[in-house]
Copies of this chain bind each other. A is one copy, B any other.
């Protein structure tokens, strides 16, 4: 129906609480383990971890600013010195207090941390943490230049080359993360000091870049500023930020190519720091974004760009940009998406591989890329509520995003393979990027804080409200309470759900502002609920959800559209929407064009993708076959077993990589009819050969067994072992 609202936006974080045991546990992990750890990391206080130098750099820049104020005209600003993409002190124990260290984008460690802190404080006030954050913000703001510029790499190394190397030097990436962090902290605490600083930086960037002849025609080398500026525009109502976001998007990949111009200019001028070969598709700058139909290049960059495009498309009502987003979405979902919600098939450029190339063992599938896909999906939902967007968003959140963090919140995956043979990881540098256990921290620390910020704000993915405030969309079924103004009435939706393990639940409607004291007056609005793709059938899902008002005099009518059921009409306080979605175990096969998955199946149930680990199934997982015939004959033959998973592993290497504290988490495992191609017990690649390398084919002897599959996000929590998502059929 064309009268239905299309555009929507998330409910403010403060208006949604999560009591859901699943997400509550994840959020508590982030709050109690990750955020404090991160703070120590960015202050270089983690023994054994590579120092971040993040706060060091802000302090150095703040001190330089103070000197400038003291010295006045006598102050001589530093002249530009190239420090490399990453610079380290000669003596790690005695970094020069005035110098910049770390990666060129090291400032974002703070921004990502403050973003998670902002979200966390929204849900869980913590005076001590807020005090720490305020003090950090004071330092960061003291580092800002008078003109608003705020990137310590250039402040400390010489502003004469600021904005000269957009390809690699990440200033606009730093701007984007600063905006995201500042908004989160503002929304969480009401404090706007950092937000004002971010705005001033954005204002300055808006002066430097733009369509006028005296402005630069560049755009971010690593995208994120686009989506951040759109969000800033939405928050502040200031058109200029949206204009700037749109400028970056519209300019990207146009001719003459700005990155080529930069490279040629700097080569001529003799700047070695920009002599790196630049690959335009790597940064989605190979053609104008509206002409891009295939998702290419660095997957995180791409996901952030597409999110920014979707955000701007919505806010500017730009149908050509919507079409571009839809094309790129289709390409990802049809040809470039792992069944774990991951994206990025190749380590080369941490990038999307070619169409249908989804290798399992050499996957890149960066945690951040899955998160960027969730960003993109949420923004596509905001443009048009279609269940596919929410299905993919949910897949990315529950699987690859969470797999990025150990169940104790203390170690992290950057790369999320779908198949791991630790023997190969140790022997073979073709899979050198694949780690069989999580790492404590990364020098290039994008994934851990990215996981922290999305987990702490997961509510924003659960609900959106239509721009005309008549419809509340429930995209994810998450236990908790959502509050919104709908059709002029104050509405509270109180949801009980047990996702991802059970498909049933109830959403109770409360009317009125009060503290549980409902309004007596009915109200008219629409509650739209997603019919999850994992039910296997829109009809089955639709039949499994009903509203009280449907039976009660048909006060409420239903309409099914794009995978959502829209309940519209007169709502009474206490009305319930009950659902009991079927959650069949689904044995999935990939499109035949996916060569890597030929002859293989994977198991999913609800939003969870499962995997087999050596800990449960022994080694040589390539010899473990799902008994597909038995399962087709009787799908019930796959048993769904609730159980308590016990994480815990002693340190795997000298640095303690792979260590996981003992943690118990209730979850569900699958017991799958299977068979195993027998090899002599204890056979490894290094044991004596038990058979010739090649022999006449004989039908394989099938040793019947049961494969135990656990949720993918829980893998590698019991030490180093084999893992596979896809089993041979």
Q: Which residues of B contact A335 (CB under 8 A)?
A: 685, 689, 693
CB distance from A707 to the nearest CB of B (A): 15
Which A204-226 residues have a C-beta within 8 angstroms of B? none
Q: Which residues of B contact A588 (CB under 8 A)?
A: 694-697
In the complex, whether A427 has a CB less than 8 A from a CB of chain B is: yes
**CB pair B348 A430 closer than 8 Å:** yes
Binds B, one of A110-118, A183-191, A266-274, A351-359: A351-359
| Given A586-B696, A591-B693, A593-B620, 5 more pairs with CB closer than 8 A | A334-B692, A337-B693, A354-B427, A354-B428, A587-B697
Q: Which residues of B contact A602 (CB under 8 A)?
A: 694
**CB pair B430 A632 closer than 8 Å:** no
Nearest B residue to A294 via CB reads B686
In the complex, whether A698 has a CB less than 8 A from a CB of chain B is: yes
- Given A337-B693, A346-B430, A695-B588: A356 touches B685 (CB 8 Å cut-off): yes
In the complex, whether A691 has a CB less than 8 A from a CB of chain B is: yes
**CB pair B693 A728 closer than 8 Å:** no
**CB pair A428 B357 closer than 8 Å:** yes
Q: Which residues of B contact A628 (CB under 8 A)?
A: 697, 699
Q: Which residues of B contact A589 (CB under 8 A)?
A: 694-698
In the complex, whether A362 has a CB less than 8 A from a CB of chain B is: yes
* Interface size class, chain A: 35 or more
**CB pair A354 B591 closer than 8 Å:** no
In the complex, whether A590 has a CB less than 8 A from a CB of chain B is: yes
- Given A346-B430, A685-B593: A354 touches B424 (CB 8 Å cut-off): yes
> Please, what's the 1-or-0 string for A336-348, where 1 marks a CB less than 8 Å from any CB in chain B?
0101000000111
Instruction: Give the most central of A347, A683, A694: most B CB within 10 Å.
Output: A694
**CB pair B355 A686 closer than 8 Å:** yes
State in angstroms the CA–CA spacing of A729 and B629 once bound together. Answer: 16
In the complex, whether A677 has a CB less than 8 A from a CB of chain B is: yes
In the complex, whether A503 has a CB less than 8 A from a CB of chain B is: no
Which A510-554 residues have a C-beta within 8 angstroms of B? 536
Nearest B residue to A683 via CB reads B593
Q: Which residues of B contact A679 (CB under 8 A)?
A: 592-593
In the complex, whether A623 has a CB less than 8 A from a CB of chain B is: yes
Nearest B residue to A629 via CB reads B699
> Please, what's the 1-or-0 string for A690-726, where 1 marks a CB less than 8 Å from any CB in chain B?
0111111111000000000000000000000000000
State in angstroms the CA–CA spacing of A729 and B677 once bound together. Answer: 15
State in angstroms the CA–CA spacing of A339 and B333 once bound together. Answer: 38
In the complex, whether A490 has a CB less than 8 A from a CB of chain B is: no
In the complex, whether A599 has a CB less than 8 A from a CB of chain B is: yes
Nearest B residue to A686 via CB reads B355
Which A362-378 residues have a C-beta within 8 angstroms of B? 362
Q: Which residues of B contact A334 (CB under 8 A)?
A: 689, 692-693
In the complex, whether A325 has a CB less than 8 A from a CB of chain B is: no
**CB pair A346 B428 closer than 8 Å:** yes
In the complex, whether A421 has a CB less than 8 A from a CB of chain B is: yes
Option from B346, B348, B430, B631 in Cβ contact (under 8 Å) with A362? B430
**CB pair A353 B428 closer than 8 Å:** yes
CB distance from A178 to the nearest CB of B (A): 35
Nearest B residue to A358 via CB reads B693
In the complex, whether A622 has a CB less than 8 A from a CB of chain B is: yes
Which A296-349 residues have a C-beta within 8 angstroms of B? 330, 333-335, 337, 339, 346-348
State in angstroms the CA–CA spacing of A430 and B348 once bound together. Answer: 8
Option from B354, B686, B689, B694 in Cβ contact (under 8 Å) with A423? B354
Nearest B residue to A604 via CB reads B694
CB distance from A425 to the nearest CB of B (A): 11
